Chains A and B, each alone.
Chain A
Amino acid sequence: MSDHILLMRGITKTFPGVTALQDVNLSVRRGEIHAICGENGAGKSTLMKVLSGVYPHGSYEGEIVFDGEPCRFGGIRDSEHAGIVIIHQELALCPQLSIAENIFLGNERASRWLIDWNRTNHEAARLMERVGLRESPVTQVADIGVGKQQLVEIAKALSKEVKLLILDEPTAALNDEDSAHLLDLLRGLRDTGITCVIISHKLNEIIEIADSITILRDGRTVDTLDRADGVTEERIIAGMVGRDLEHRFPPHEPRIGAEVLRVEDWTVHSPTQPGRKVVDGASLTLRAGEIVGLAGLMGAGRTELAMSVFGRAYGVNISGRLYKDGRRIELRSVRDAIDHGIAYATEDRKRYGLNLIEDIKRNISAAGLPGLARHGWVNEMEEYRVAEGFRRSMNIKAPGVTSTVGKLSGGNQQKVVLSKWIHTDPDVLILDEPTRGIDVGAKYEIYTIINRLADEGKAILVISSELPELLGLCDRIYTLSQGRITGEVPREEATQERLMYHMTIGQE
């Protein structure tokens, strides 16, 4: 057992009324990349918070042995001192400071009271070279992309002489190129003796990079897999959800009806960069009972297209024509769009979709409130009845509709968002990344709901970054590249390769 850098044994962490972790064991060998998998709420983050001292020694049961020493961390400083650094999903950088300042934040290169800028920038440049970040150390963090910001975080960790680097969903916000670079970097770090623990939902990446995998489910260790044993996505998923997930998508027989929404020659300009076309002459049609996909790489203009159609919620200088049920319509505001039976469920539910401090009931009624009111007064009993109905039909897991939305898991929050829009009784539902950040079991439920909505005769447009999701769900898929519709592929002919081909047309 001496080759283990980290042993966590019998970790149990309870919050009042909830057992978040129950007798969890984790052993990480020195110099390996160890992945932790589990559904949302399985206890991954809690385990990492126990390890990094966010939950200090004494607030949990069990023991931690790091580098051969039993550890009793009282806070993050203690764990960092021991050589454990955690990089959170939401990066903790100061955007207005330079890269070098961020790297040495809280750990300044100073002689007595004054910061030694030469040393700061010089050492920063060395660390940046090590992580493959080609920028000037004095560049402001706000001016570099998310991928490079991630590298700054890693450089910062290296500056603290890290032995164990923990990355929480490091590639969630990155494009494929940046992800690949990051994974390469992690391999490089492993070869220099730094152990990595990576938490990720992207199973293909885990399989590519991890030497061993620990799977958590409901706060317990379910399984530990070794690369040598031959790991497959199916095996990990089975462990995570506790069942064999042969069919990731519910079967669905489409009953496609008449055209509901037609967008013609839609052009949208960027509000921040004058003159730049974000959507360029796009045309598409949606039909009743049909699930249509919209595929495109980051920055292709998918969300921008959807939001500009949704009552000009995005963009300036919008031109083009909209037809609803064959008749020309003008949508000047979000209210107009809702009144014309169009709904848009955002890709970022926490920022744009929900009032997290409010309860389920009031979130569900937020968009369709006029329908629950007479002469400006809300019928609260009816509101309760409607919300309770959605809680049951959508299987929102919460004690009641007066529970605060911010406390729900991602999947249940997404169901609240969907309920809100279904309550406006739309004919057209635009779902932007409907399963982002939610776990496998809840995804299946969302797919079932989408199928049910299509069966009720609604026209549905699904925007997704996950091609398998579009292939499994949609009857027809449009591809978008640099603001232009570059392809329209029926379900039978759709393959990942073909979609990717259309998605990259027009790019160098």
Chain B
Amino acid sequence: MSSISPAGVEAGPKDGKEGGSGPPRRPGRVALGSLSINVRQSGIYIAFALIVVLFTVLTDGAMLQPQNISNIIVQNSYILILAVGMILIIIAGHIDLSVGSVVAVTGAVAAVLMVDFGVPWPLALLITLVVGGLIGAWQGFWIAYFGIPSFIVTLAGMLLFRALTLTVLGNQGIGPFPDAVRTLSNGFTDGYLGNIGLGVLGGADLFSLLVGLMAVAGMVAAQWRTRTARAGYGQGVDPLPVFVLKTAAGAALIMAVVVQLARFKNLPWVLVLLAVLVLGYSLLANRSVFGRRIYAVGGNLQAAVLSGIKVKSVVFWIFVNMGVLAAMAGIIFAGRLNQAGPTAGNSFELDAIAAAFIGGAAVQGGVGKVVGAITGGLIMGVINNGMSLIGSPSERVMLVKGIVLLAAVAFDVWTKRRAGAAR
């Protein structure tokens, strides 16, 4: 009648307290857990590397030519800047559909100020950024304090700010911009220190190379400091050979890009701007109290409220931030075309959102990285660039980008489900 399993009686842990611990204490699972997390987190970078390799082969190396690398960076800079702001919004569990229109309206504001009113360019840029911040504050108010879903508010914003752009510009572009603004969006650092010979690679700009070396030195120092501090607190760190290998790979990558750029026309100013933004916003997201709160709000809103986090203020400020970054993108885009046009920024919001999701953000919020969003944006940029190099028609580019977006999110969902099933 009864079905006692004799083996079961003896084999359970003797100490009753063990009973509550469940699976996590088994070492096998730990190893597997960290491995699968690694695959999930680094999958995007592996995919990026594969895509670059693929197009390098398909284009017989044209992909990695100095001028082309420079092009990829300059052509995608405004999307990447938008992606930095967008990832924070998506982490908080919101969305911003209006950034394309905000790019247009802020570009128009900058153009009107500089071209029509002759405002000196530094002041004009400052005013434009403030206008971007005010636009963000407007949307942030309705979302955070009035409680309208961000999808609706920014959908309305998409129409409102496009309408404003058309009102300001009429049906024509305004230009040209002052040289300083064009240099920022399209130009390069000067060869302050002259050229240096690099053997078979030919001449390269010494200043750019020095900046690159400094960046590498800074990265190595920062990595090493983190590692020693972690070890000091008894946290697990990579074994030394793995650490050296990882750091060396990072350094090699930075130097490879810098050398190629130095061989062409020195460093694009937008690359400098982007580097500062990525570094700054990565720190903000991971290390600042404000950044942590964004993750907390997106991860579990109710728990964040009951942990004393002022959720409304967090949401408000990430939209203000998005407005400022959209204004920055607006200036750069207008400067690049040398005029502010009524159709500027069309569908930029979709590229920025796609970049964030390809870069590993979760639809429900709470997950995402600034570097991930940048990588996501670069993946799309490389696909755009590579496919145009091999002469693909634009509809095929769109097709591939759509598939990549779907595949990236599908991979994310799949790894999550697998992690869930392993419980």
Which residues of A pack against B, CB within 8 Å? 7, 15-18, 20, 22-27, 29, 39-42, 212, 214, 217-218, 220-226, 240-243, 245, 310-311, 313, 333-335, 337-338, 344, 346, 351-358, 362, 365-367, 369-370, 373, 376-378, 380-381, 384-385, 388, 397-400, 403, 407-409, 411-412, 420, 438-439, 441-442, 445
Which residues of B pack against A, CB within 8 Å? 1-5, 7-9, 11-33, 229-230, 232-236, 286-290, 292-293, 295-296, 299-300, 302-310, 362, 366-367, 421-423
30 A-B residue pairs with CB within 8 Å? A7-B3, A16-B28, A17-B30, A18-B422, A22-B11, A29-B1, A41-B19, A217-B8, A217-B12, A221-B8, A222-B8, A222-B9, A224-B3, A240-B19, A242-B12, A242-B15, A243-B15, A351-B300, A352-B303, A353-B306, A355-B366, A357-B366, A358-B366, A362-B295, A370-B289, A376-B288, A377-B289, A381-B233, A399-B33, A442-B20
B contact residues around A377 at 8 Å (CB)? 287-289
Assuming A39-B20, A376-B288, A380-B287, is B26 touching A18 (CB within 8 A)?
yes
Assuming A378-B288, A381-B229, is B21 touching A397 (CB within 8 A)?
yes
Whether the pair B3, A16 counts as a contact (CB closer than 8 A) is no
Whether the pair B30, A399 counts as a contact (CB closer than 8 A) is yes
Min CB distance, B76 to chain A, in Å?
30
Min CB distance, A408 to chain B, in Å?
7
A contact residues around B296 at 8 Å (CB)? 355, 358, 362, 366
Q: Looking across the interface, which residue of chain B has its beta carbon closest to that of A335?
A: B308
The contact of A335 among B299, B302, B310, by CB within 8 Å, is: B310
CA distance A484 to B7 in the complex (A): 54
Assuming A218-B12, A337-B308, A357-B366, is B28 touching A18 (CB within 8 A)?
yes
Min CB distance, B143 to chain A, in Å?
20
CA distance A422 to B7 in the complex (A): 42
Min CB distance, B151 to chain A, in Å?
21
Assuming A357-B366, A378-B292, is B8 touching A220 (CB within 8 A)?
yes
Whether the pair B233, A385 counts as a contact (CB closer than 8 A) is yes
A contact residues around B20 at 8 Å (CB)? 39-41, 397, 409, 411-412, 438-439, 441-442, 445
Between A242, A243, A337, A338, the greatest number of chain B beta carbons within 10 A of the residue's beta carbon is seen for A242
A contact residues around B31 at 8 Å (CB)? 17
Whether the pair A399, B25 counts as a contact (CB closer than 8 A) is yes
Whether the pair A333, B308 counts as a contact (CB closer than 8 A) is yes
A contact residues around B4 at 8 Å (CB)? 25, 221, 223-224
CA distance A190 to B318 in the complex (A): 58
Whether the pair A15, B304 counts as a contact (CB closer than 8 A) is no
CA distance A221 to B2 in the complex (A): 11
A contact residues around B19 at 8 Å (CB)? 39, 41-42, 217-218, 240-242, 439, 441
Whether the pair A358, B289 counts as a contact (CB closer than 8 A) is no
A contact residues around B24 at 8 Å (CB)? 397-399, 403, 407-408, 412
B contact residues around A370 at 8 Å (CB)? 289
Between B31, B304, B308, the greatest number of chain A beta carbons within 10 A of the residue's beta carbon is seen for B308
4 A-B pairs closest in CB distance: A220-B8, A17-B28, A355-B299, A17-B29
Interface of B, helix, strand, loop or mixed by DSSP: helix
Whether the pair B307, A334 counts as a contact (CB closer than 8 A) is yes
Min CB distance, B124 to chain A, in Å?
30
Whether the pair B12, A243 counts as a contact (CB closer than 8 A) is no
The contact of B236 among A15, A242, A400, by CB within 8 Å, is: A400
Whether the pair A334, B229 counts as a contact (CB closer than 8 A) is no
B contact residues around A385 at 8 Å (CB)? 233
Min CB distance, B224 to chain A, in Å?
15
Whether the pair B289, A369 counts as a contact (CB closer than 8 A) is yes
Min CB distance, B178 to chain A, in Å?
36
A contact residues around B11 at 8 Å (CB)? 22, 220
CA distance A339 to B230 in the complex (A): 30
Between A353, A366, A367, the greatest number of chain B beta carbons within 10 A of the residue's beta carbon is seen for A366
The contact of A355 among B26, B303, B310, by CB within 8 Å, is: B303
A contact residues around B23 at 8 Å (CB)? 15, 17-18, 20, 41, 407
Whether the pair A358, B7 counts as a contact (CB closer than 8 A) is no
B contact residues around A338 at 8 Å (CB)? 308
Min CB distance, B136 to chain A, in Å?
20
Q: Looking across the interface, which residue of chain B has its beta carbon closest to that of A242?
A: B16
CA distance A39 to B30 in the complex (A): 23
B contact residues around A23 at 8 Å (CB)? 5, 7-8
Min CB distance, B58 to chain A, in Å?
38
CA distance A411 to B9 in the complex (A): 24
CA distance A61 to B26 in the complex (A): 21
Whether the pair B1, A226 counts as a contact (CB closer than 8 A) is yes
Whether the pair A220, B300 counts as a contact (CB closer than 8 A) is no
Assuming A338-B308, A377-B287, is B422 touching A214 (CB within 8 A)?
no
Assuming A27-B3, A40-B20, A241-B16, is B25 touching A397 (CB within 8 A)?
yes
The contact of B2 among A226, A313, A362, by CB within 8 Å, is: A226
Whether the pair B308, A388 counts as a contact (CB closer than 8 A) is no
Min CB distance, B281 to chain A, in Å?
14
CA distance A439 to B367 in the complex (A): 31
Whether the pair B9, A223 counts as a contact (CB closer than 8 A) is yes
Q: Looking across the interface, which residue of chain A has its beta carbon closest to that of B300?
A: A355
Between B7, B28, B306, B366, the greatest number of chain A beta carbons within 10 A of the residue's beta carbon is seen for B306
Assuming A217-B12, A242-B16, A355-B366, is B304 touching A344 (CB within 8 A)?
no
A contact residues around B5 at 8 Å (CB)? 23-25, 220-221
